[in-house]
Amino acid sequence: MMTGLDFELDSTGQLDEVLGLAEHLRDALWRVDSSGARPVDATGGVIVAGMGGSASGARLAQGAIGPRLTRPLVVSDGYALPGWAGPSTLVLLSSYSGNTEETLAAYDDAAARDAPRIVASTGGALVERARRDNVPVIPIPGGFQPRAAIGYSLVAALEAAALGGAAPSLRDEIEAAADLAEALAAEWGPEGDESSEAKAIARSLHGTVPVIAGAEVGAAAAYRWKCQFNENAQLPAFASALPELNHNEVVGWESARDLGRFSYVSLEDPTAHERNRLRAELTAEIAGAGADPVVRVEARGASRVERLVSLVLLGDLVSIYAAVLRGADPVDIPAIDSLKASMRAR
């Protein structure tokens, strides 16, 4: 076990769900098939409407597909769809609870525009609408925190992109990614070596504000890391994408030490554009002026989906370990709960 860490603080067993990513990926493929969703010639592209953890899969799917995308794949994280949405646009409505008010509004907007729809959810009002309108439902299993269902939301988004003609089917890559995740979970999990990458990174980042960055696949994973630090470890954390950050954010590192203790995590794909690989190296050097530590992480795997999944699993475990190091329960999200209650009351 990880010395000095009390996993009893993880009151809902989120660590187990993180370690179950391989099973989730495989199960998700079966659940897409069980939905009865059929291919749609969505010449206008594919929109994934969702919030928070329910939208995370689509953001990751964008990175996993990368240059293989042949039509737009857009995340819509609000009450209304983009103005161009219509009958030629496939809309995946993703809400773990099925009661997310923004996603319900987006469903109604898609229906009003006569856009073909698919729903991914555990139930709630969203599934009620879908059943009423004969819209296919990808049944997501209950009992998770929404962010812990990332394998399901990722596969749903990848499959929706394929069904809408926006990308090729990546099922073989998903299956291979599940095999890789299984092996990495054993290597990085709590029963793994105390010097494993996940535990070492968590310890090194303890007491810092993490800034996570990457290019291409790494950029997609960086946002996931940021969100997991926010929700699991209850910490401020920030994510940026290369090469854009080289045109603004990179300037700030020189003065960072005067403001607080920051860390910099560079998520790197060995197959990324050679100029982005160079930028990652140079940016890490510059960040060292104000960040302590600077951590460089290399994705593993043969395909884009595998490399993305390796970074997602690593970040999820690091965030859980970071929570336990802080004595925080990864289930607690009091600020989100309070905000939702205030919204319901008005």
Q: 């319900």: which residue's tokens?
A: 104
Closest by Cα among 141, 109, 123, 117 to 37: 117
What are residue 192's phi and psi, to 5 degrees?
-75, 180
Residue 236's SS3 state is coil
Q: Is residue 215 within 8 Å of residue 243, measured between CB atoms?
A: yes
Residue type at 43?
A: T
Residue 215's SS3 state is strand
- Considering 231, 249, 268, 274, which one is annotated as catalytic? 231
Q: How far is CA 224 from the centre of its chain?
A: 4
What does the buried/exposed string (b/e) look like for 72-109 if buried means 16 or more CB atoms within 10 Å of the residue's CB? bbbbbbeeebbeebeebbbbbbbbbbbbbebbbebbeb
Using CA atoms, how far apart are residues 317 and 128, in angstroms rounded to an integer?
35
User: Which structure tokens are listed for 278?
Assistant: 């160079």
226 is catalytic: no
List helix spans (H) across the chain.
14-19, 21-34, 53-65, 101-112, 124-132, 150-163, 171-188, 197-205, 217-231, 274-287, 304-326, 334-344
Residue 260's SS3 state is coil
Closest by Cα among 109, 181, 98 to 138: 98
* Alpha-carbon separation of residue 236 from 60, 207, 211, 222, 229 (angstroms): 21, 11, 9, 14, 7
Active site residues: 231, 247, 340
